[in-house]
Amino acid sequence: MLKKINQATMFRLSLVVALFVVNALNAQTAEKSSIITTNNKSASKSLNHIAFIADGNRRWAKSKGLSPLEGHRVGFLETAPLLLKKSWEAGIHTVTLWGFSTGNWNRGKEEIDNLMILFEQLINKMLPVAKEIGVKIVHLGRKNKIPQTLLDTINKAEQETANFSNYIFNFGIDYSGRDDICRAFKKIAATGINMEDVTEKIISDHIDTAHQPYQNPDLMIRTSGELRLSGFMAWESTYSELYFPEEYFPALNEESLKKAIAVFNERVRTFSK
């Protein structure tokens, strides 16, 4: 009889332990799920603007035995549209792409001419997408040196997407951060504002990204392993997180973007606090 009681007691104890373990595991799983959900919400809120310095098109082409033009074509007509679309799909509001700096006019005429054609093709390629999902297209840079056909394409895209606000595509052509700041001060001077009264906000309201909801990049990516920004978004990049992947720009893909976002999510941003 005692043996039967002991067996029954042991069974009940085993059942209690099993239920305790199951409940503990369920609680742990729920806690992990909560953490993942919270982190995802946090990431989606903090990564609102990603900026790309498209570097390495020519070196990528050389490594493949291709012409420099083919490197630029793949970079701007295949990689760039993919990164733009995938960034917006990931909930990133603003994507900035630097295609041509004020210093790039020192390159050969044939390369420059081909680049201007590619930029026009990229804008025309992205315009239907912009209209479909509500992307505002904004040109960053000077407008007085670029070819008229490209300028017409830029103006058309900016006009036709001016009222969109779901996303932003900033395209830097004949752009540099220092030139942007210089032009901003000229605009400020033209308003008659006393230079003693100029504030950071006034400057921010006169650079090319003026009045954008996420003016300052959260994450800046320069491809090809070069560890510098070369003046890109000099005013806006004070608190930007920097990421320098070894891949050339044409080699980037969706997985590259996911990796960059994962790296960003691991950063702790204090904003001087």
* Contact between residue 200 and residue 209 where contact means Cβ atoms under 8 Å apart: no
Please answer whether residues 84 and 97 qualify as being in contact, where contact means their C-beta atoms are separated by less than 8 angstroms: yes
Tokens matching residue 100: 């041509």
- Residue of higher predicted confidence among 153 and 3: 153
Whether 173 and 99 have beta carbons less than 8 Å apart is answered as: yes
Q: Is 163's pLDDT higher than 80?
A: yes
Average pLDDT over residues 24-52: 51
- pTM of full prediction above 0.85: no
Q: Within a 13 Å sphere around the CA of 18, how many CA atoms are in the beta-carbon half?
A: 6
With bands split at pLDDT 50, 70 and 90, how would you rate the model's confidence at 23?
A: very low
- Say which CATH topology domain 49-266 has: Undecaprenyl pyrophosphate synthetase (3.40.1180)
| pLDDT at res. 271 | 87
**Residue 273: per-residue pLDDT:** 83
Q: Could you tell me where the DSSP H helices lie in the chain? A: 2-46, 57-63, 68-74, 80-89, 109-133, 148-161, 177-190, 200-204, 254-266
CA angle 112, 114, 119 (to 5 degrees): 95
State the chain's mean pLDDT as an integer.
88
- Six token digits for residue 25: 């595991």
Q: For residue range 107-119, what is the model confidence (pLDDT) as tens digits?
A: 999 999 999 999 9
- Residue 10 scores a pLDDT above 80: no
With b for 16 or more beta-carbon neighbours within 10 A and e for fewer, the 262-272 pattern comes to: eebeeeeeeee
- Return the pLDDT at 84: 98
Catalytic residues: 55, 104
Domain coordinates in residue numbering, the chain: 1-30, 49-266
pLDDT digits (tens, 9 = 90+) for 64-86: 999 999 999 999 999 999 999 99
